[in-house]
A and B are shown apart, each in its own frame.
Chain A
């Protein structure tokens, strides 16, 4: 089979891509889906397990009610219908990460179905993705492949299994085929997964950390000749676990499929794996008998029945959807498109909202969070949100400036000390003696020195060139180590020279 790829442009000239996504979301419930073992990441292997997690003989699962509520909330956030009655099913297959030899999942009756999600691409283009279903299931254990190349399964001599993750609640969200994305397909793929991540985080049902596998994406791609309506054969790429990888996978698969089809060869329906190192996919196994999962209703679990009251109670508890919230905040704050996008990308929406709520103007909030605080974060190579600076600090800092206690330059210094954990801005100004000097005695002496050193400037000011006063303020600031109240210095100079400001 050809390993070549066509250029993305040529692929798009000849073919229309059709996408589909299966996104798995790990819930952040305290316990697993069907047993009371803790749902915690990074613990000692095989300690967050019960006989149920290990699939020992004779055990009985019991459904985690909180996980069911989370699934309903997610279904509602995705504009889905919620099943009045649904049940769990066994998906049978042998793999060492699944100790029971079946995964407890849902088959013909998902808890949520027929929804949609409206996405906004970076340039503002809107795109609707139809949601086929969202169903409840459980995660598998974690495998470590030993003796092969770089931990890969190929050529491994044996594997080690940790069942801490086995049984962690998952919701799998499946889209309907997405047509008409054209050249925006890779971007759309990224935007879709980003939106899902944001929604589950906003709902508080998942930690949504992709690097920990809380949100995982399988990307389906197929191509059909331009103008055709019959879908082509698809590939399903797994292991696509960052937003960047989602975008790259879709782009790569479009280029690969195009090369295969252009050579007159049929695309093989198969599972593929994304490799970040080579930025390409490789074939896994072809779809075959191994996909004969023999689903049947889980006899050990009774049906889940929802009532209109229950659903409406959960609907009423949903937070404002992130996309709507952004639109509202942007209008309220009056930021430009670019300013607002920068704020979103910096991840400080909450901080700015709280700063404004605590009394600062939108402009002041943006100035500090996107200015000095962003700079301090970058300098320390951390996220802004991870700095110990709070909205209350920013409001306090701004109050000190407005009250004439400090100037902008000192405020930046103060922020540095806030980040060092020295206390609140007011405490730091006090303890470090950073307040501006507006004591006329001290300032007058410095002004006299400056005037004595620059008689030519003094003459200019006397002659009516008031803006030349800046040349005298500089040395005064220097003499007071930046702590002089510039406005007061100006008043003193002009007063001494008898000039009107």
Chain B
């Protein structure tokens, strides 16, 4: 049984706000399935004594002092905004007829 099916990809695409055609869904489902299967082979190599690892670096507690640093100006902050008003980012209506 495949790990990733077409419905799951459709669901993910919706969550990720990616518009995908039926053909793309089918193709990507196959590709993702192969990737997930390949990654799953890692768990065959790792025994029960190997804890799940999210960070391969032997680092922890990398902290910053609580000191204010440089900030952007309002103009800089808004310079990539498609639209702005009153010093703020302007975005389309959030609820569309919900």
Contact = CB atoms under 8 A, between A and B. Distances in A.
Contacts of B77: 46-47, 49, 54, 163
A62 B68 contact: no
A178 interface: no
Given A31-B69, A294-B15, A304-B61, A95 B94 contact: yes
Contacts of A37: 68-69, 71
Given A49-B72, A159-B93, A63 B15 contact: no
B49 interface: no
B63 A156 contact: no
Contacts of B69: 31, 35-37, 50
A490 to B, nearest CB: 64
A292 interface: yes
A144 interface: yes
A47 B54 CA distance: 34
Interface in B57-76: 57, 59-74
A48 interface: yes
B86 interface: yes
Interface stretch (A65-73, A238-246, A432-440): A65-73
B67 A87 contact: no
Interface in A59-109: 62-68, 85, 87, 92, 94-96
A63 B64 contact: yes
A303 B60 contact: yes
B15 A292 contact: yes
B50 to A, nearest CB: 16
Given A38-B71, A303-B55, A45 B88 contact: yes
A479 interface: no
Interface size, A (range):
35 or more
A50 B71 contact: yes
B27 interface: no
A278 interface: no
A47 B14 CA distance: 34
Interface residues of B, number: 38
A153 interface: yes
Secondary structure of the B side of the interface? loop
Nearest to B66: A66
A46 B72 CA distance: 8
A156 B67 contact: no
A30 B89 CA distance: 25
B87 interface: yes
A159 B86 CA distance: 12
* Candidate in A51, A94, A303 with the most chain B CB atoms within 10 angstroms: A303
A330 to B, nearest CB: 36
Nearest to A99: B89
B95 A154 contact: yes
A13 B63 CA distance: 53
Interface string A433-460: 0000000000000000000000000000
Nearest to B89: A161
Given A37-B71, A38-B71, A299 B54 contact: yes
Contacts of A292: 11, 15
Contact of B95 (A92, A153, A303): A153
B45 interface: no
Given A36-B70, A51-B72, A161-B88, A156 B94 contact: yes
Given A160-B90, A303-B55, A289 B63 contact: no
B91 interface: yes
A30 B66 CA distance: 6
Contacts of A66: 65-66
Nearest to B14: A289
B64 A302 contact: no
Given A87-B55, A302-B60, A305-B61, A31 B92 contact: no
A65 B64 contact: yes
Interface in B14-45: 14-15, 17
A63 B63 contact: yes
Given A156-B94, A160-B90, 9 more contacts: A31-B69, A49-B72, A62-B64, A65-B63, A158-B90, A159-B90, A159-B91, A160-B91, A285-B98
14 contacts: A30-B68, A37-B68, A45-B74, A46-B77, A47-B72, A65-B61, A96-B91, A96-B94, A157-B93, A159-B90, A159-B93, A160-B85, A162-B89, A299-B55
